[in-house]
Amino acid sequence: MSEVNTNTPAHLYLFTTPANWRNVLGQNERVSPKYWLKLLRFIATSLVAEPARLYENARFEKQIEDAPLHEQPLFIMGAWRSGTTHLHNLLSQDPAYSYVTTLQCLAPHFILSQQTILRRTLAGLLPEKRLFDNVELGLDAPQEEEVGLATLSPHSYYQYWFFPQRILPLFEKYIQMRTMSAQEWAEWRASYLRLLKTASFMSGGKPLLLKSPGNLARTRTLLEMFPQAKFVEIQRDPLRVWISLMHIQKVLVPIHHLQDFSWEKIRADKLYVYTTLMRQWQEEKALIPPENLVTIRYEDLVANPLPELERAYAQLSLPTAEAFPRWSAYLETIKTYQVNNLNISPQDLALARNEFRFMYEAGGYPIP
């Protein structure tokens, strides 16, 4: 893997609030002095953005609060690195849907009043492509809502990028939602709806296309909030998912971490997260009405994208007339894209045969 610039200004919580930083730091271990300068660089953008947030709240808070949410969003369900971004980008071409954008996730507090300034500022801060897979990082491209939730709220699993020793407690609390207090749950829900309502308000109320891998353990919650929601599950060879997942850690943790860590512990903790998440999804997806759930294999989507998309839409009773030509046009723009070529170790093969066997069997993949 090529060397990553750990001083890049493109980090999570780029424009979060000072109050959110205070809450995040209060929930985790004390940051040692050797990371204070790094932390100060992170917090600096929050301080600069605070006047814009206060202005936006005064001007738009009531409009966002009253913004309606379409009762039938479309959720993409899949583990990190299973192809969710590719499917998200494809389905977002359908003009019937809106989505949470990268720009909205980076600055949800003042996106409505400061779009022009934000675009000029971020043009010089963000890389043109994601650091871990060379997918284009457009400001108006669909983004995983967990990124925006982390900016709005301290109740996000993605705190682990800063505190990698706390992967498991953060997973249990903010993905499985098993140790949240009633107040934390209410705050999480309010922040999540705030993010969705902002996107809905900016799109004129279209149904939302949403993607966050952590949602695999939130099926009950999503159905309680949106009982008529539709779901597209994307599956991929579990070993490929795992190798790519660990590759991301090598890129993102060094950029963000504010505490010492070991790669051995990160590997063990992420293995637990991946397998636990997938077991919970296998149990809870049965709660979704069959007519509202369709499954796509990443390998089939890459090999025959248009037939797979048509099949998925047909099963979900969604029209394709306007979407089909846009899917075709988008596919032309990415036909030269090359996926990462990552090495498979004997240790990874052993994991596939043992820890991932239930995923291979559920997805109908041959065990390597």
- Cβ 161 vs Cβ 256: under 8 Å: yes
* Residue with more model confidence, 340 or 89: 89
* Residue with more model confidence, 290 or 68: 290
| Residue 129 three-state SS | strand
174 part of a folded domain? yes
- Please give the pLDDT value at position 338: 64
Distance CA 14, CA 299 (A): 34
Which residues, including other chains, have CB under 8 Å from residue 45's CB and lie 6 or more apart? 9, 14, 15
- Please give the pLDDT value at position 9: 46
Distances from the Cα of 315 to the Cα of 26, 249, 281, 312, 363, angstroms: 47, 36, 20, 5, 18
Is residue 134 pLDDT above 70, yes or no? Answer: no
- Please give the pLDDT value at position 311: 98
Identity of the amino acid at 188: W
- Cβ 211 vs Cβ 144: under 8 Å: yes
Lowest mean pLDDT among 8-12, 117-121, 255-259, 347-351: 8-12
Length of the chain: 368
312 part of a folded domain? yes
Is residue 268 pLDDT above 60, yes or no? Answer: yes
* Residue with more model confidence, 53 or 176: 176
Give the burial string for 276-305 (b: 16+ CB within 10 Å, else e). bbbebbeebeeebeeebbbbbbbeebeeeb
301-342 pLDDT per residue, tens = 999 999 999 999 999 999 999 999 999 999 999 887 666 677
- Cβ 13 vs Cβ 153: under 8 Å: no
5 part of a folded domain? no
The fraction of the chain above a pLDDT of 90, given in percent, is 70
Dihedral Cα 212, 216, 219, 220, nearest 10 deg: -120
- Please give the pLDDT value at position 132: 55
Can you tell me the mean pLDDT for 352-368? 93
- Please give the pLDDT value at position 1: 37
Going edge to edge, which strands form the sheet with 230-235? 98-99, 208-211, 74-77, 230-235, 293-297
64 part of a folded domain? yes
Identity of the amino acid at 337: Y
268 part of a folded domain? yes
Is residue 156 pLDDT above 70, yes or no? Answer: yes
| Angle made by CA atoms 300, 298, 265, in degrees to the nearest 5 | 155
pLDDT band at 181 (very low <50, low <70, confident <90, very high): very high
Q: Compute the mean pLDDT over every residue in the chain, rounded to the nearest whole number.
A: 90
- Please give the pLDDT value at position 49: 85
Burial class (CB in 10 A: 0-12, 13-18, 19+), 206: middle
Distance CA 88, CA 229 (A): 16
* CATH for 347: 3.40.50.300
Can you tell me the mean pLDDT for 343-359? 90
97 part of a folded domain? yes
9 part of a folded domain? no
Is residue 133 pLDDT above 60, yes or no? Answer: no
- Please give the pLDDT value at position 7: 46
4 part of a folded domain? no
pLDDT band at 20 (very low <50, low <70, confident <90, very high): very high
Q: Which residue range(s) make up the domain with 38? A: 18-363
90-112 pLDDT per residue, tens = 999 999 999 999 999 988 988 99
Torsion sign over Cα 173, 176, 218, 82: positive
* DSSP notation for 13-54: TTT--HHHHHHHHHHSPPPPGGGHHHHHHHHHHHHHHHHHHH
pLDDT band at 71 (very low <50, low <70, confident <90, very high): very high
- Please give the pLDDT value at position 129: 63
Is residue 232 pLDDT above 50, yes or no? Answer: yes
Number of structural domains (the chain) is 1
Name the token pair of 132: 């871990």
| Residue 294 three-state SS | strand
Can you tell me the mean pLDDT for 129-150? 79
Burial class (CB in 10 A: 0-12, 13-18, 19+), 66: exposed
